[in-house]
Chain A
């Protein structure tokens, strides 16, 4: 993007402030009237318009890159609400495009440490544990082997044995023939690359992914981590279908073979990358219903959902700030009277956990589904 192009799209923002609020017809309580995680916490230039002005200033040469600019740029969780809301009837400022452009333009020296290392997220640890899946009947897609559906070995799963076991268990219960690139995993792309402005690396990784998916004749990829799902959906040039693994759970539960879960009232946190980016709002709610749980929705939900505060690299770069953002979410979760917060994203889970009030639990939807099918945690690899 040239500076002129950046300026033109940045000028779409006339700073009307609409993106700061929620849809008035949907959210009745003034306490939950604002939305942007950084804007509602830090105000001023930390609101979406601050980023648009940053783009305008950089494009025109009015502003020079500095630590201060970096601080604002990396306080954004890239939740996508401002972009989404602006699109609903206003002028549509492509805020995400602008933000990602800025993050790719900023000099490397000003990037937070975690962002400078974002490309490292592509490296596969030597002790990766995807092999755990094999014990649940997931076959390794190697050599010239063909597969219709695979599960994506994302960066939150590679060494996460407990989660791999839960997923393996559920896949087994599904009766579906699912493969995985186990011995030679696909590049574990995720939003970290976008957040860190690693465009080239992302491009290369996606080219490799597309080529290898084609080679194995893969038609569908199940993805656990929403931050990987949204990146695969946005940047893949293949015709492969990338879907959240929870859509499989939802289909499975329709058969009614799972047992009901006994918990108090629950609420559900829509992960930004699963919701606003991947547009998956229905499946988690269907799952919660099928598990026999009472869902107490927060007001800011669905495409109006409030970010947990982890995204955009904030959790990795500035956990204290991410924790502050999470506090906003807990305030609303508590107001519903729910006893359990359910999430479908490992980052939401981790960040909300660090700010969690004492009298409310937080659970991953995959764990709940596994439980419903009788998973006890003791299922050993065969």
Chain B
């Protein structure tokens, strides 16, 4: 239901096959003052790929499928059309994995998922530094690259050191295509451990869930860890919501090279659970395949479809402190799904709750969404990549930040052709 976030559709679509064509398209758009919307694949949680203005041209990058897979150094350079599914086979063969995203399907673009910093299941362990260097075209058509990719030497393996000077690459993250089009990024690959163990910890409320997440995080043992409310968990497991699920459940996924590693991690988790005054469970009652389903979802996410069914689903994507999560959880209806992912060693949480609606309710629900976000903003919650519906509001909340961003935007996009209307720019 991406149309929840925008009423506009692109008027035309162009499909460049290589970086040279991308540059041509940008140059032409500058000449004709045509708005461009980069689209890597058809899915995004907040409608970034949909224009916020009339008359836009979608730049569909899905034909750009170039891959440079460097097994030895555990990196891969991808073009925008490469999906998680595309990399799965090569990764499996090499004993590696890509870091997959929550609620972003396996057929989503790796580049745009990482570029927009969609939450990854592995953030708690590896932190959000999944991208190394990048290359692309600024909105004014100029080529740019970061780190080794910018080196004048011509060699295939020049990609992985970020040459962190000025951290240029981070500026293009969460920019929703407003500053240019990225045609290539180097991303990291991680070890795929042969053994996995899924553990559960029941929580009475969201408060207990954030507390438990922090405590489990402190061991630095789980590879994936998140907390979900019962609606979200039921959808994830594909079961009907029943009384059997706790209001909130912390899901811990331990990975290991052998049984011994899994075993000590399990023991440690049990003792943390005990210290928290609860019990770590090894399965979910009445759902015999629960662990397999969770592992499969992490490896190969279903995407938004898992929640929407026949109805509309709009996530509210935010970053919050434990206190803010507690304060804001009451803003959502009890039937909303919600997921929490600890970040920064537990000092912050990725907090995503959602709204459910019928297509006819969109105008009304939009109002509700905006009002709700406004309350969350007031509570200090951060919308890291605000949707077009609340972009102006967010920009107002951080005037100094956005003033600087606006001047940067103006410098690289004097004709305002790149995804205008996004980000409150």
Q: Do chains A and B touch in the complex (CB under 8 A)?
A: no
State the B residues within 8 Å of A (CB): none
State the A residues within 8 Å of B (CB): none
